[in-house]
Structure 1
Amino acid sequence: MKMNPAHQQGSAKAFTLIFWLLLMGSLTLFFNGFIEQKNNPNRHLVETGAGATDVVLLRNQAGHYVAPGFINGYEVTFLLDTGATNISVPATIASKAGLKQGRQAMVTTANGVVPVYATELDTVQLGGITLQHIQAHINPHMSDDIVLLGMSFMKHLEMTQRDGTLTLSLPGI
Structure 2
Amino acid sequence: MYILAWICGLGLLTFVFGDLLDRQENPNREPESVRIENQTEVRLKQNRAGHYVTAGTINGVPVEFMIDTGATDVAIPAHLQERLGLIPTGSVLAQTANGVVRVARTELNSVSIGDITVHNVRANLNPGMNGEQILLGMSVLKQLEFTQRGEWLILRTL
**TM-score above 0.5:** yes
In structure 2, the partner of 1:167 is 154
One-letter amino acid of the structure 2 residue matched with residue 28 of structure 1: T
Across the aligned residues of Structure 1 and Structure 2, the Cα RMSD in angstroms comes to 1.2
In structure 2, the partner of 1:123 is 110
In structure 1, the partner of 2:77 is 90
Q: Deviations over 1:54-76 (max 9, x none)?
A: 11000001100000111111111
- Alignment partner of 1:27: what SS? helix
One-letter amino acid of the structure 2 residue matched with residue 136 of structure 1: A
**1:109 maps to 2:96:** yes
Aligned counterpart in structure 2 of residue 30 of structure 1, from 16, 23, 26: 16
Q: Would you say the 8 A contact 1:52–1:128 is kept in 2?
A: no
For residues 119 and 162 of structure 1, the distance between their equivalents in structure 2, rounded to whole angstroms, comes to: 33
The offset of 1:47, in angstroms, is: 1.7
Instruction: Return the structure number with greater relative CO, CA threshold 8 A, min gap 6.
Output: 2
For residues 65 and 39 of structure 2, the distance between their equivalents in structure 1, rounded to whole angstroms, comes to: 19
In structure 2, the partner of 1:4 is none
In structure 2, the partner of 1:39 is 25
One-letter amino acid of the structure 2 residue matched with residue 143 of structure 1: N
Q: Deviations over 1:7-30 (max 9, x none)?
A: xxxxxxxx1011101110110011
TM-score by length of 1: 0.87
TM-score by length of 2: 0.96
Structure 1: runs of 5+ lacking an equivalent: 1-14
One-letter amino acid of the structure 1 residue matched with residue 6 of structure 2: W
More strand per residue: 2
Q: Deviations over 1:69-109 (max 9, x none)?
A: 11111111000000000001111212211100111100000
In structure 2, the partner of 1:8 is none
Question: What percentage of aligned pairs have identical amino acids?
Answer: 41
The 5 A counterparts of 1:118-157 are 118-157=105-144
- Alignment partner of 1:84: what SS? coil
For residues 60 and 76 of structure 1, the distance between their equivalents in structure 2, rounded to whole angstroms, comes to: 17
Structure 2: runs of 5+ lacking an equivalent: none
The 5 A counterparts of 1:28-67 are 28-50=14-36, 53-67=40-54
More helix per residue: 1
Whose radius of gyration is greater, 1 or 2?
A: 1
Q: 1:86 to 1:97 in 2, by over 3 A?
A: same
The alignment covers a number of residue pairs equal to: 157
